[in-house]
Structures are given as C-alpha cells and as structure tokens.
Chains A and B, each alone.
Chain A
Amino acid sequence: MDFVPKTEDLDHKHPTPGDGSLKTQELLVNMGPQHPSTHGVLRLLLHLDGEVVLDAVPYIGYLHRGMEKLAERRTYVQVVPLTDRNDYLAAMCNNQVYCQAVEKLAGIEVPERAHFIRVVVNELNRIASHLVWLGTFALDLGAMSVFLYAFREREIILSLFEEICGARLTYSYIRIGGVPWDMPDGWADRVRDFCSYLIPRLNENDALLTGNEIFLKRTQGVGILPPDVAVDYGVSGPVLRGSGIPFDVRRADPYAVYDRLDFDIPYQTTQDCLGRYLVRIEEMRQSVRIIRQALDLMPDGPVMAKMPRVLRPPGGEVYTRIESPRGVMGVYLVSDGGTNPLRMKWRAPSFCNLQALPEMARGWKVADLVAILGSIDIVLGDVDR
C-alpha cells in the first residue's frame, strides 16, 4: 500500500560500525493526521533514521469535501459561498478568483469602485492570513507571546470584515459583478486607523523573533528549497519568493486594479525558513501600503454591475489566477451555456506547495520538519478541497 523509497536513492548513510556487528534500521512513523503542528488533518509518513528524516511522504484528502463536484450541481451565483470554504483563512481571495473567472467567462464589466474595494478587502485578508501564520509558526517554534499578539491584531481585521459583510470567516462579500453593498460609514477611516496601528505592532513582533537567537537557529539555513526545484514543482507565493524568484501574480498577470498601485515584491535569496518568514513579514507592510493607496484613489460610483436575473455564460472555458496569501490561486471554469458550471477546477496553492515538502525535509531532524512545514503555510481546506 505505502510507497517506500529505496534507501540507496537517498544521500543519507546509516552510521553503522565497519565490522557489521551492529545494524540500524529505518523507522516508519506517522506524523498526523492529529498532530498539532500539521495545522489540520495532514498525515506525513516519516522514514526515519534515528532523528533524521530520510523521507516524508504526505497523505492528504482527510478534508476532501468534493467542492468541484458540488459546484457542478449549483448555479454560478450559488457557488460563491462554497468557495469560502476552500482556503478558509483567505475567503476573500477565494471569492475574488472565482468571481473573476465567471466575469471573464460571461464578459461582465465590474465597476471601478468595486475593484478598489476588492483590493482593500483582499489585502486585509492577506494580512489576517499572514498573522495567523506568524502566530502559529512562532508557536511551533516555542514562542508563545507572538501567537497571542498576532491573534490580537487579526481580531481587529475580523471585526472590520464583520462590519462590512456580517461574517468573520466565510465572507462571500465579493460577488459576481462587484460587491453587494458599499463600505459602511466611517469604515475606510477605521481601516486607515488599523494600518497605522499595525505597523509598529508588526515591527515589535518581528523584533521578538528575529532578535531571538533560538528562533534564528531554528530557521536560518533550515529547509533549503533551490529556485529551480521550486519552479519545477510549481511552487508559488512566499515560498517561491523565499527561494529568490520575485514572481507575484499581482505584477506578472495583474487583475483588479493592481497595475495602478505602487508596491514592491519582497523576496529573499536565502531559500530557507527564515527567508520565507522575512518575505511574509515584508508582504504585510506592502499590503498596508496597497490598502492606503487604494483607499486614497477609490472613485465614487456604483459597486455592482448590471446583472441578468439568471446567469448563463456563453459556452467556453477560461482560466484565471490571483495571488492569494499562499501563492497562485487559480480557477479553470468551463461553461456549456447552461446555468451551472460544466466544470470548476480549483488550482490550490497549498496543494502545489505541499508537494515540494519532501524536497525540503530530507536530511533534517524531526524537530526541523515542524519548522519547515510551518514555513510553507498550508491550509488543509485548500489542499483537500
């Protein structure tokens, strides 16, 4: 049943004495699906030599809900709440990519103001998602206080989202054709206040970790992913940028109004866990920059396009992608001219990034594997769909 790699394929040598009197053997250990540091229901079958990881084979599917099949039974509009449940830490981004695909397929022109509101909520969601990652990553490495601080900051974003759409996790705020209603009175100012609040807190949290020798020892040079290997695996997002490739969909294949906003694509050439950490921290600062610009440049006007009562996109197929907090999130949508999608494929960034885990984990200790897995930042809802 299980795929067992041949020992001679691996670089690691068993430390046996030369006379052959003592033998060691490879140990198989299940990590997960209930292990706390797998951040959900992921099972890793570890091939161990003592504490050294010879191979880590991921087993996924424990959270598979058949989203793609469910989508075929619903109308285009009814699919939007389903998408919330894929990457549940970044539901706005899920809504964004799905609605973008339908709009492209049906040729719907989204009003300018809606685009700007979408950018603001997308970037807020990116910060919220990165804060969860920051907290849990620090917790995995034994830094308790950062976890509490990060969740305190995230709470404010969730309250802002609750105010704009009524939900704290499954928003369905971005709809096909725009957004269902405008920002509430004073909301933009509260977002600006949050931006000013966040930056010093972020610097403080960053100093707690990058000023901590234990944190640096656990992350620096750990879990190397060379750039050519990362690209070959289709890895994207902060993991790819941590390997030195500044690929970001917001620049490479711009959507919404990102081409009109000024921001940097942070990247690190160290290819290790610390590099991926630094990329995400800087990304939060860049998101604040984007939010401030989007709020300043936001024009007046409608927030929803004129939509037909029943949406029947013409037959055809479309693929569209966005930069979610975890990387390239794509939707391949096929229409046969009916009211339901013929096929909706979800290109999940966590799924593709997790695939490269064995490459990063081989040769490291089990404790390092916790850091490496944390640095990829997977969401199992996104992996399993």
Chain B
Amino acid sequence: MTNPNLSEQLESAVRQHFPDAVESAADCKGRLLLTIRADQLVPVCRFVKESLGFDMPDCVTGIDTGQHLEVVYTLWSTQNQREINLKVIVPYDNPVLDSATGVWRGVDWHEREIFDLFGVQFRGHPDLRRILLPEEFEGFPLRKSYTETD
C-alpha cells in the first residue's frame, strides 16, 4: 500500500516536528516503521493523529525479542488509506510506558492485553487490569523468560 515517496514524506514530517524523537526508521516489506523514544511516544501519537490523519488504531503488538520488550502501534488513516507503525523499546528492568489511550480510545484493550501478557505498565491508563487471564494469575506468559508452572 505505502509507496516509497509517501513513506519518506511521512518520516520527514515526523522528524521535522520531533527532531530527536525518531531513533530509527525502517521499511518492513512496504510498511513504514519508526522507532520512537519512549518519552516522546504520546506527543508523536497525537501529532500523527491530528496532523497526518492516522485516525484509526489498527493494532498494538507487544514483542519480546529476548533482549528487550517492544510495543508497536500500527495505525491506519481512513482518509488517505495508509499505514504507519510506531515502535517503542521497553527495557525489562523498568517496563513502564505512557499510555496512548488519551489519543485513541481504541488502544485501551490492546494496552491491557500487553500489560496482561508482557507486564508492560501503561502510565495514565484508565483501567489497567488483566484482560484475558484471570486476575490471580502470576507472571507474564508471553515473555521469553516465562516458565510454565505445571
């Protein structure tokens, strides 16, 4: 869907407004993937929604790479029919991230799911509880370090 020129335009628009927020940019099989500094995530989210038209939160993915945790916000623009991905790196020893629920209400359950399965604490989330697993469950099963109890 995304063509190279469009990806460059999007990337430079974000870089222009947030000169030191973009850590790296990659083209993953035609998708623009920007790695954003964790403390700049919410301002960047608000900017891509309000100025670049990414009004729909498509998917929020948690990843445990083995070195650190990652959270990827996949966003879609219903007006321009294009996609952008914002990735944040979250360290194991301090898995805290500002919540984007203030920007899109739809990331609410996605962030709860990542809290549930990866143990990422979303600061400012209105209702951060386990969502898929029972409340008394211990541990975060999608972390690579998780070991089954039985």
Instruction: Name A residues whose Cβ lies closer than 8 Å to a Cβ of B.
Output: 1, 3, 60-61, 64, 66, 68-69, 104-105, 229, 231-235, 245, 247, 252-253, 316-319, 321, 328, 330, 332, 334, 336, 342-343, 345, 347, 351-352, 355-356, 384-385
12 contacts between A and B (CB under 8 A): A229-B105, A234-B104, A234-B106, A319-B28, A334-B63, A334-B65, A343-B64, A347-B58, A347-B74, A351-B109, A352-B109, A385-B132
Instruction: Decide: A61 and B132 in contact? CB cutoff 8 A.
Output: yes
CB contact under 8 A between A319 and B63, given known A61-B134, A330-B58, A355-B109: no
From 98 to 117 in chain B, residues with beta carbon under 8 angstroms from any chain A beta carbon are 104-109, 117
Cβ contact of A332, chosen from B66, B72, B109, cutoff 8 A: B72
Are B58 and A253 neighbours in the complex by a CB distance under 8 Å? no
Q: Which 9 A-B pairs have the closest CB atoms?
A: A234-B106, A233-B106, A347-B59, A61-B132, A345-B61, A332-B61, A64-B132, A234-B57, A252-B81
- Could you say which residues of chain B place their CB within 8 Å of the CB of A352? 106, 109
Residues 66 to 91 of chain B near chain A (Cβ within 8 Å) = 66, 72, 74, 78, 81, 83, 85
Prevailing SS type, chain A contact patch: mixed
Assuming the contacts A61-B133, A316-B28, A351-B109, asked whether A231 and B65 have C-beta atoms less than 8 A apart, the reply is no
Q: Does B46 contact A (CB under 8 A)?
A: no
Interface residues of B in 30-67 (CB under 8 A from A): 31, 33, 55-59, 61-66
Number of B residues whose C-beta is below 8 Å from A?
39
Per the bound structure, the CA–CA distance linking A170 and B71 in Å amounts to: 31
The smallest beta-carbon distance between A243 and chain B, in angstroms, is 11
* CB atoms of A319 and B31 under 8 A apart: yes
Residues of B within 8 Å of A1, CB to CB, are 135
Q: A343–B81 Cα gap in the complex (Å)?
A: 26
Residue B150 lies at the interface, judged by CB distance under 8 Å to chain A: no
Contact between B129 and A60, CB atoms less than 8 A apart: no
Which residues of B are at the interface with A, using a C-beta cutoff of 8 A? 1, 28-29, 31, 33, 55-59, 61-66, 72, 74, 78, 81, 83, 85, 104-109, 117, 127, 129-135, 141-142
Residues of A contacting B55 in the complex (Cβ-Cβ under 8 angstroms): 231-232
A231 touching B78 in the complex, CB below 8 Å, given contacts A104-B29, A384-B132: yes
Inter-chain CA distance A342–B29, complex, in Å, is 17
How many Å from the CB of A330 to the closest CB on chain B? 5
User: In the complex the two chains form, is B142's CB within 8 Å of A69's CB?
Assistant: yes
| Contacting residues, chain B, for A330 (C-beta < 8 A) | 58-59, 74
Nearest B residue (CB) for A330: B59
Closest to B55 in A: A231
**Closest A residue to B65 using CB positions:** A342
Known: A232-B55, A253-B81. A318 touches B29 (CB 8 A): yes
A247 nearest in chain B by CB position:
B78
Nearest-Cβ distance from residue A274 to partner chain B, whole angstroms: 23
B100 nearest CB across to chain A (Å): 12
Q: Which of A66, A345, A355, A384 contacts B106 (CB 8 A)?
A: A355
Q: How far is the CA of A317 from the CA of B64 in the complex (A)?
A: 13
B120 to chain A, nearest CB (A): 14
Q: How far is A105 from B31 in the complex, measured between Cα atoms in Å?
A: 12
Query: Given A61-B134, A69-B141 in contact, is the A321-B81 Cβ separation under 8 Å?
Result: no
Inter-chain contacts of B117 with A (CB < 8 A): 68
A343 to B143, CA, bound (A): 10
> Complex Cα distance A318/B72, Å?
11
Question: What is the distance, in angstroms, from A62's C-beta to the closest C-beta of chain B?
Answer: 9
Asked whether A3 lies within 8 Å of B127 as measured between CB atoms, the reply is: yes
B74 touches A319 (CB 8 A): yes
Q: Could you say which residues of chain B place their CB within 8 Å of the CB of A384?
A: 132
- CB closest chain-A residue, reference B80: A252
A385 closest partner in B (C-beta): B132
Q: How far is the CB of A359 from chain B (nearest CB, A)?
A: 9
Asked if A232 meets B109 with Cβ closer than 8 Å, knowing A332-B72, A332-B74, the reply is no
CA distance A342 to B70 in the complex (A): 13
Select from chain B the residue with minimum beta-carbon distance to A68.
B142
Instruction: For the complex, give the distance between the alpha carbons of A105 and B108 in Å.
Output: 29
Chain A residues near B56 (CB, 8 Å)?
231-232, 234
Query: Would you call A355 and B108 a contact (CB within 8 A)?
Result: yes
A328 touches B106 (CB 8 A): no
* Selected contact of A233 from candidates B59, B63, B105, CB within 8 Å: B105
Q: Within 8 Å CB of B64, what residues of A?
A: 343
Rounded to whole angstroms, the CA-CA distance of A157 and B107 in the bound complex is 36
Q: Are B58 and A317 in contact (CB under 8 A)?
A: no
Are the C-beta atoms of B133 and A64 separated by less than 8 Å? yes
Other-chain contact of B28, A3, A234, A318, A345 (Cβ < 8 Å) = A318
Query: Shortest beta-carbon distance, B74 to chain A, in Å?
Result: 6
Which B residues are CB-close (under 8 A) to A247?
78
| Chain A residues positioned under 8 Å from B132 (CB to CB) | 60-61, 64, 384-385
A164 to chain B, nearest CB (A): 30
| Alpha-carbon distance A342/B58, docked complex (angstroms) | 21
